[in-house]
Amino acid sequence: MWLNNVWYILFVVIIAGYLIMDGFDLGVGILHPFLAKTDNERRISLNSIGPVWDGNEVWLVLGGGVLFAAFPMVYASLFSGFYMAMMLVLLVLILRTVAIEFRSKRPSARWRSIWDWVFFASSLGIALLLGVAFGNIMGGVLLDSQGNIGGNLFTLLNPYALLVGVTTVLMLATHGAMYVSMKTEGDLQARANHWIPRLMVVFFVLNTLLVGWTVLAHEVIADRYLAQPLFVVFPALALAAVVAGWLMVRKGRYFIAFLLSSAMIAGLLFSAAIGLYPNLLVSSIDLAYNLTIFNASSQPNTLTVMLVMALIGMPFVLLYTAGVYYVFRGKVQLNAQSY
C-alpha cells in the first residue's frame, strides 16, 4: 500500500510542477493582448517564455504517463468520459504552439495581431478546459460500476466545474503577471504590477466561493477535512503565499513574489488532493464505484519498477530544467533570433 501512496504523492507533485511551470506560460498568454500594447512589448512578452514554454509542457506529458502506468483504470475512464474535452485541449495546445512560432514570421501588423489573439484564446482555452476537467474530478462524475463515465461534453460544463475553470484562469493569470513583472522592465512591468492586485482580488473572491461550494456540496472532501483538521494548514499556507506575494511585488522583489505565487498553486493543489484522498475519481452515482489509488492501480511489481526508473530519471529532468532557467535568467533582451 505504501507504493500506492508514494505514486499518488508523485503524481500530485508532477501536476503541481506542470501548473507552476506551464501555468505562467498560460498566464502570460491570457494577459498578452492587455499588458503588451506595442509590437515591441508583445515580442518581449512572447520571448519572456520563449526559451522555456515547450519544455514546460513536458510536465503534462509526464503526468499523463504516470497516470497511464500507475493508475491505468483511471486513465481509461478519463479518456473514455473526457474524450471530447481532451481533444479540445489538444487542439488549443496545437494552436498555441502555432501562434508562438508563426507570430513574428511576417512584419504585417494584421498578421501579428491575428496570432496575438490566437495566442490569447488558446492560452485561455487550455486553462479553462483543464480547470473544468479538474472541477469534474473534484465534484464527481457519472462513473458506473464498470469504470465508464456517462454524459457528454455539455454534462462536463456544469456550474461547479465552470467555476473551477474560471478560478483556474484567474489563478494562472495572476501567476503570469508576476512572471512578467520578474522578466520585464519599464512600462510593461508597470502594467503587470498594476494588474496583479486586481487579479488577486478577483481570484480571492472566486476561490472563496469555490471553497464554500465545495464544503457545502461535496461531502467526500468536506468529511476528509473534518476527520483531519490539521490538513487545513495547506489552504492556509496557500492564502498566506498570495498575500506575501503581493507584498513582495510592492517592494520590487519580483523573484520572491513569483516563488510565493508558485507556492500558492502548489498549496491549493495539495489541498484538493488531500480532500480527495484516496479517491482519484469520485462517482456521483454511488460512492462504492469510486476509483481510488488502491483499486485502480497497477500491480506492485509495476509500481516498484516505475519507482526505480523515476528515482534514476527525475534528477536529470530537474537538472535540465534548472539549467535552462539558469541560462535564460534575467530580463528579456530581444535579438535577431527572438520571436
Q: Write down the pLDDT at residue 310.
A: 93
Q: In whole angstroms, give the CA distance from residue 332 to residue 339.
A: 12
Please list, in sequence order, all residues whose beta carbon lies within 8 angstroms of the beta carbon of residue 135, skipping any fewer than 6 positions away. 158, 160, 161, 162, 163, 164, 165
Residues of the chain with pLDDT under 50: none
Q: Write down the pLDDT at residue 185.
A: 93
Q: Write down the pLDDT at residue 68.
A: 95
Q: Write down the pLDDT at residue 230.
A: 85
What crossing angle do the helices spanning 186-217 and 219-227 adopt, rounded to 10°?
90
Q: Cα angle at 26 between 31 and 32, to 5 degrees?
A: 25
| Interval 129-142: pLDDT, tens | 999 999 999 999 99
Please list, in sequence order, all residues whose beta carbon lies within 8 angstroms of the beta carbon of residue 59, skipping any fewer than 6 positions away. 14, 15, 17, 18, 21, 22
Q: Write down the pLDDT at residue 227.
A: 85
pTM above 0.85, yes or no: yes
Beta bridge partners of 149: 143
